[in-house]
Amino acid sequence: MKKYFPTEIEPKWQKKWEEEKMYRADDKSDKPKFYTLIEFPYPSGAGLHVGHTRSWSAMDAYSRKKRMEGKNVLYPMGWDAFGLPAENYAIKMKIHPKTVVAENILNFKRQIKSLGMSFDWSREIDTTDPHYYKWTQWIFLKFFEKGLAYQADVPVNWCPFCKTNLADEEVLADGTHERCGTLTEKRMQKQWLLAITKYADRLLEDLRKVDYPNKIRVQQENWIGKSQGIEINFKLKESDIEVAVFTTRPDTIYGTTGLVLAPEHPLVLQILSEKLKIKYENLKEIREYVERSKKKSEIERTSLDKAKTGVSTGLFVINPVSNDEIPLWVGDYVLGWYGKGAVMLVPGHDKRDYEFAKKFDLEIREVIKGGDVKKQPYEGDGVLINSGEFNGQSSKEAAKNITKYIEEHHFGKTMVQYKIRDWVFSRQHYWGEPIPMIHCEKCGTQPVLEKDLPVELPYLEKYEPSGTGESPLSVVSQWVNVKCPKCQGKAKRETDTMPNWAGSNWYYLAYLFASKLKNPNQENIFEENQDVIKHWMPVDVYQGGFEHTTLHLLYSRFVYKFLYDQKIVPNPEPYAKRRVHGIVLGPDGRKMSKSFGNVINPDDIVKVYGADTLRIYEMFMGPFDQTIAWNDNGVEGCFRFLKRIWQLSQSNVSETATSRTLSASLNQTIKKVGQDLEDFKFNTAVAAMMQFINDWQGDEKGLSKADLIRFLAILAPFAPHISEEIYQSFSKNSEFHSIHMEEWPEFDSRLLVKDEVVIVVQVNGKVRENLLIPSSELKNQSYVEEKARKSDKVKAYLDARQVRKVVYIEGKIINFVI
Ligand code: ANZ
Ligand code: ZN
C-alpha cells in the first residue's frame, strides 16, 4: 500500500492547476457568474497567520463548490499595502516601506500558493502600484468635482504615537487608536473630508437590500445613528437673537429649566468677542471655561462617570411654548457638532441634564408621570402634567401635538440628525496615495488635471512623520513646487496623503479589469470596462471579519454609492451578501501574539501535515463565525482522518455496486455537506464526512468506484490535493481532467433512508447479537423481538429461562431481561 505523503503530492498538483489555468474566471463565459470575495490582506512582515488561512480556506471551499455547480467563479486576491502598519514596520526595521511591501508580498504569495487556494492570480492587484492608485486619485477628483471632497478646520483625533490624524471610525470607544492602542487627543486642524453624511440615509435604508448578519447591520445602523427630532428656537431675552436646540423629546418642553450651549457654539464666541449689545457678567469665567474644555476629548466630555462642568452666562432665554424665562449656560457635555450644538435642559427626564442641574442647583420639574424626579430622572414615556394645554396627553400624542404647535407658530421645524460625521480623509504620513490637489495663491485650491494622474509618491529616504502635524512630503521642494494647472503660476502640491482605507474602497472593481490597469494609454478605465463591471457586480458573497464593520465595510459602501450616482456601477450596493468569520486564538486561549509566544505559523503545519490537514482542521475546529482556540490534537485528528481516506481508497473499493446501507450513508453525507457549505457550516460538513468514513470502514464490501468519485467530489473543496491524487489514480482519461472540474454530485433522495438498520440485541445488558432489520419494520416491536428470539446466538441464552421484560429502544437496541 502507498503511504500518504502530502508534502510530495501537494506541490505537484498546485503546479498542475496553475499550468492548466484552472481557476481563471472568464469574463465572457455563458455560465452564470459567481463573485466570491475575501478582504484582501495587508501583507505584514509577520507573514500569513492561521486566521487568514481559516477565512480563505472556507471561502475557497465555497468557491470550489460553486465552480463544480457549473458557475463561472471569480475568486481573486490582492494586496492592501498602503498605510500605517507598513510604515511603522519600515521605520522600526529601517527599510523603505516600498522594499518592505515588495518582500512581504513575495512571502505571502509563496505561503498562499503552498495552501492550494483557487485564487485567480491573473487578476492580482496592489494598491501601492501607481497604475492602481491613479484610479484611487481619480475617484477623489470625482468627489471634489461633485463638491463632496472639501477642506475644513475640524476637530481631529491625533495619535501621538503614529503622529497622524485619524478618522472617528479609527478611534475605539475608549479613545485609543485601533491600530496601536495609544490614547488619541483632539486637535483643530485643516483637513480634507469626504461628505459621507450626504449618503447617511441611503447607507441606512439600503441595508434592507443586502443580506448581512444581524450584528453587522445593527452596528452600521448605530454608527450612522439616525435621530428623528425637532429644532426649537429660543429667543434671547430683550434681544432678537435666537438660539436653536435639537431635541427628540418635544413632549418634555414644559420641563425645560435651562438652555445649555456647547463651548464651541457661535453664540459663545460672540459673547466672548463682546460684540453683542448686552450686559455682560461672568465673561472671564466663560473664557476660562471654554479654554479648559478645548483640551478635553469628546469621550471625557460625554462620559457618564465624569462630573458635569459648566458656567452660567448670566443671560436668559424664553421658552417659546411655555413662555418661561430660563437661564443660559455653557456646558461641555453638549457637543458643538451634534444637532444645533445646544440643548434644552430637562433635568426631570434626562440623566445628563439631571446631573447638570444637581451640580448647579437648577430647578428640576416633573412633566411626565412615571417616577420620582426629585430622586432620579424619569426617562420613559407617560402622561403629561404641568404642561399647560397638553396635560393629560400621552408622551407620543403630546410629542406630535407640540411639534405641530411649534411648526404652526414658526418656533421651529422637524429635523433629522445623524451621529455619523464626514470622513476625515487626510493623513500626515508618507506611505499613502498623495491627494491630487494643488494650492495656488491666486486661484485657490485646484484639482490636478486628469491627464497628469497619477500623482506619484516620490521616493524619500527620510519618510518618518515630522511630528508637527505636517506630512514628511512637505519638505520635498522639487515635488511640492509645481505650476498651477489653471494659471500656470507658482503653486504647491497638497502634501497630505489618503488614509489606508482609500485603496480598498474600490478594489473589488479593480479585479474585474486588473489586466488593463497597466495599459499606459488607458482612458477612463471605468467607462471602458462597463461590460465587465456589469457582468460581475455585485459581489455575491463577501467574507471578512467583524472589525471593519464601521470602517472599510461602511466606507466602501459609501464610495460604491457615489460611483453608482456617477453611472460607473450598475447597482447601489457592492456586496449582496456578507458573511463573517471568528478569530483564531492561540493554543492558550489568548490572542496570538509574538509576546505571548503562542503564534501558530501555517508554514509549520504545512511542512509536517500538509495543506489539506491545515484546511480540514481549520474548517472543523468550530463554528465559522465564532472565536476558537487552536488545538494541536485537533490537527493530529484531522491528519488521521485524511490518512484513513487514503488507506480506504486503496483497500476498500470494489468493482461492484455499493451496499444499500453504505450507499444510504453516502447519499446522506452528500446532502449534508452540500447544505452545510451553502450555510457556511464548515465544521458540521467535515464532521459528516468523518462519520461517513466510519461507515465506509465498517462496510465489508466497500465503495464502488463511481461512489468513491462522488465522495472525493464533496471532499475536494475541503482537501483539494488528496482528493485530486486519489481521483487521478482511478482516472482512465488520457487528457487531464481534474476532480475540481467534476460536477457537484447529486444525492439520490430514495437512497437517503437506509433500508436495513443494525439492531443490537442484548441479554441482561450484554451484547449477544447484531441483527439487520428492514427500515419499514423498525416501529414494529413484535417483529424485531421475534427475529431476535429466532437468532441462534440469542436462543442459546434464552432457552429454558424466563424472560421477565423486553426493552426496545426503537431503531437501536433490544434487551431481554431474564
Ligand atoms: C431634551 C430632552 C429631554 C432630551 C429628555 C432627551 C430627553 P439622540 O437620540 O442621541 O439623537 N442633545 C441634542 N443635541 C445635543 C448635543 N449637541 N450634545 C449633547 N446632547 C445633545 O439624542 C437626542 C437628545 O440629545 C436631545 O433630546 C438632546 O436632549 C440631546 F427628556 O432634548 B434632548
Ligand atoms: Zn493659479
Centre of ligand 1 to C-alpha 382, Å, is 18
Centre of ligand 1 to C-alpha 236, Å, is 20
Residue 278: per-residue pLDDT: 66
Residue 224: per-residue pLDDT: 96
Instruction: Output the residue whose Cα is nearest ligand 1's atom 25.
Output: 247
Strand partners, 233: 244
Instruction: Output the residue whose Cα is nearest ligand 1's atom 32.
Output: 247
pLDDT digits over 165-177, tens only?
Answer: 887 778 887 888 9
Place of cell 424472560: 803
Which among 248, 258, 400, 399 has a CA at the least distance from the CA of 338?
A: 248
Residues 633-656 have a mean pLDDT of 96
> ω before 454 within 30° of 0 (cis)?
yes
> ω before 538 within 30° of 0 (cis)?
yes
Spatial contact of 333 and 262, defined as CB atoms under 8 Å apart: no
Residue 521, pLDDT above cutoff 80: no
Amino acid at 810: E
Centre of ligand 1 to C-alpha 142, Å, is 36
Task: Count Cβ atoms below 10 Å from residue 79 Cβ, excluding itself.
Answer: 24
Centre of ligand 1 to C-alpha 625, Å, is 36
Instruction: Look over the chain and give the mean of its residue pLDDT values, rounded to a whole number.
Output: 93
CA–CA distance, 330 with 344 (Å, rounded to integer): 12
Residue 767, pLDDT above cutoff 80: yes
Residues 66-89 have a mean pLDDT of 93
Spatial contact of 508 and 545, defined as CB atoms under 8 Å apart: no
Instruction: Output the residue whose Cα is nearest ligand 1's atom 7.
Output: 350
Instruction: Output the residue whose Cα is nearest ligand 1's atom 11.
Output: 227
Centre of ligand 2 to C-alpha 395, Å, is 58
pLDDT digits over 616-629, tens only?
Answer: 999 999 999 999 99
HEC states along 243-262? EEEEECCHHHHHHCCEEEEC
Centre of ligand 1 to C-alpha 247, Å, is 5
Centre of ligand 1 to C-alpha 157, Å, is 24
Residue 593, pLDDT above cutoff 90: no
Three cell numbers written together for 797: 441464552
Centre of ligand 2 to C-alpha 582, Å, is 52
Residues 811-815 have a mean pLDDT of 92
Name the closest ligand to CA 489. Answer: 2
Residue 154, pLDDT above cutoff 90: no
* Interior/surface letters 601-623, b for 16+ CB within 10 angstroms, e for the rest: ebbebbeebbbbbbbbbbbbbbe
Amino acid at 713: A
Three cell numbers written together for 204: 441606512
**Alpha-helical regions (H) of 225-316:** 266-273, 283-294, 298-302
Residue 410: per-residue pLDDT: 97
Residue 560: per-residue pLDDT: 98
For helices 632-651 and 611-620, give the axis angle rounded to 10 degrees. 120
CA–CA distance, 134 with 450 (Å, rounded to integer): 9
**CA distances from residue 731 to 1, 18, 648, 654, 727 in whole angstroms, order as listed:** 18, 20, 17, 15, 6
- Within 16-144, strands assigned E span 33-38, 72-74, 78-79, 125-126
Q: Give Cβ neighbours of residue 408 (< 8 Å, ≥ 6 apart).
A: none
DSSP code at position 265: -
CA–CA distance, 759 with 765 (Å, rounded to integer): 14
Instruction: Output the residue whose Cα is nearest ligand 1's atom 18.
Output: 334
**CA distances from residue 496 to 376, 427, 482, 492, 642 in whole angstroms, order as listed:** 49, 5, 16, 12, 53
Residue 697: per-residue pLDDT: 95
The C-alpha angle 596, 602, 626, rounded to 5 degrees, equals 70
Three cell numbers written together for 149: 471632497
Instruction: Output the residue whose Cα is nearest ligand 1's atom 10.
Output: 227
pLDDT digits over 299-356, tens only?
Answer: 888 888 889 999 999 999 999 999 999 999 999 999 999 999 999 999 999 999 999 9
Residue 158: per-residue pLDDT: 86
Name the closest ligand to CA 439. Answer: 2
Higher pLDDT, 91 or 527: 527
Name the closest ligand to CA 444. Answer: 2
Q: Which of 223, 246, 403 has most ligand 1 atoms within 8 Å of its beta carbon, as the pocket-test mutant?
A: 246
Centre of ligand 2 to C-alpha 440, Å, is 5
Centre of ligand 1 to C-alpha 365, Å, is 17
Instruction: Output the residue whose Cα is nearest ligand 1's atom 31.
Output: 349
Amino acid at 476: V
Q: What percent of the chain is modeled with pLDDT above 90?
A: 78
Spatial contact of 80 and 126, defined as CB atoms under 8 Å apart: no
Residues 387-402 have a mean pLDDT of 97
Spatial contact of 463 and 472, defined as CB atoms under 8 Å apart: yes
CA–CA distance, 124 with 514 (Å, rounded to integer): 7
Spatial contact of 348 and 280, defined as CB atoms under 8 Å apart: no
Which among 485, 460, 455 has a CA at the least distance from the CA of 474?
A: 460
CA–CA distance, 241 with 233 (Å, rounded to integer): 10
Instruction: Output the residue whose Cα is nearest ligand 1's atom 26.
Output: 247
Which among 547, 428, 423, 426 has a CA at the least distance from the CA of 162?
A: 428
Spatial contact of 700 and 601, defined as CB atoms under 8 Å apart: no
Residue 279: per-residue pLDDT: 67
- Within 75-116, strands assigned E span 78-79
Name the closest ligand to CA 244. Answer: 1
Residue 548, pLDDT above cutoff 90: no
pLDDT digits over 560-591, tens only?
Answer: 999 999 999 999 999 999 999 999 999 999 99
Name the closest ligand to CA 490. Answer: 2
* Model confidence band, residue 277 (pLDDT cutoffs 50, 70, 90): low
Strands 653-654 vs 703-704: parallel, antiparallel or unpaired: parallel
Instruction: Output the residue whose Cα is nearest ligand 1's atom 14.
Output: 339
CA–CA distance, 576 with 580 (Å, rounded to integer): 14
CA–CA distance, 240 with 279 (Å, rounded to integer): 15
Three cell numbers written together for 708: 468513491
Three cell numbers written together for 486: 489653471
Which among 498, 506, 505 has a CA at the least distance from the CA of 525?
A: 506
Residue 46: per-residue pLDDT: 85
Place of cell 435651562: 258
Spatial contact of 119 and 37, defined as CB atoms under 8 Å apart: no
Instruction: Output the residue whose Cα is nearest ligand 1's atom 33.
Output: 247
CA–CA distance, 657 with 708 (Å, rounded to integer): 11
Three cell numbers written together for 676: 452545510
- Up-side HSE of residue 170: CA atoms within 13 Å toward CB? 27
What atom in ligand 1 is closest to the CA of residue 342?
Answer: 17
Three cell numbers written together for 621: 475546529
CA–CA distance, 742 with 717 (Å, rounded to integer): 11
CA–CA distance, 67 with 443 (Å, rounded to integer): 56
Residue 102: per-residue pLDDT: 94
Residue 669: per-residue pLDDT: 96
pLDDT digits over 210-235, tens only?
Answer: 999 999 999 999 999 999 999 999 99
Spatial contact of 42 and 101, defined as CB atoms under 8 Å apart: no
Name the closest ligand to CA 447. Answer: 2
CA–CA distance, 490 with 476 (Å, rounded to integer): 16
Centre of ligand 1 to C-alpha 708, Å, is 66
Reduced DSSP (H G I as helix, E B as strand, rest coil) percent helix, strand, coil of the chain, to 5 = 40, 20, 40
Residues with CB under 6 A from ligand 1: 227, 246-249, 252, 262, 334-335, 338-339, 341, 343-344, 346, 349-350, 417
Q: What percent of the chain is modeled with pLDDT above 70?
A: 99
Three cell numbers written together for 553: 465595510
What atom in ligand 1 is closest to the CA of residue 336?
Answer: 17
Q: Give Cβ neighbours of residue 816 (< 8 Å, ≥ 6 apart).
A: 761, 762, 763, 764, 788, 794, 797, 798, 803, 805, 806
Spatial contact of 213 and 625, defined as CB atoms under 8 Å apart: yes
pLDDT digits over 708-726, tens only?
Answer: 999 999 999 999 999 999 9
Residue 640, pLDDT above cutoff 80: yes
Residues 125-135 have a mean pLDDT of 96
DSSP code at position 443: T
- Up-side HSE of residue 697: CA atoms within 13 Å toward CB? 12
Place of cell 424466563: 802
DSSP code at position 361: T
Residue 801: per-residue pLDDT: 84
Strand partners, 384: 368
Which among 568, 550, 570, 562 has a CA at the least distance from the CA of 149?
A: 562
Q: Which of 223, 232, 248, 354 has most ligand 1 atoms within 8 Å of its beta carbon, as the pocket-test mutant?
A: 248
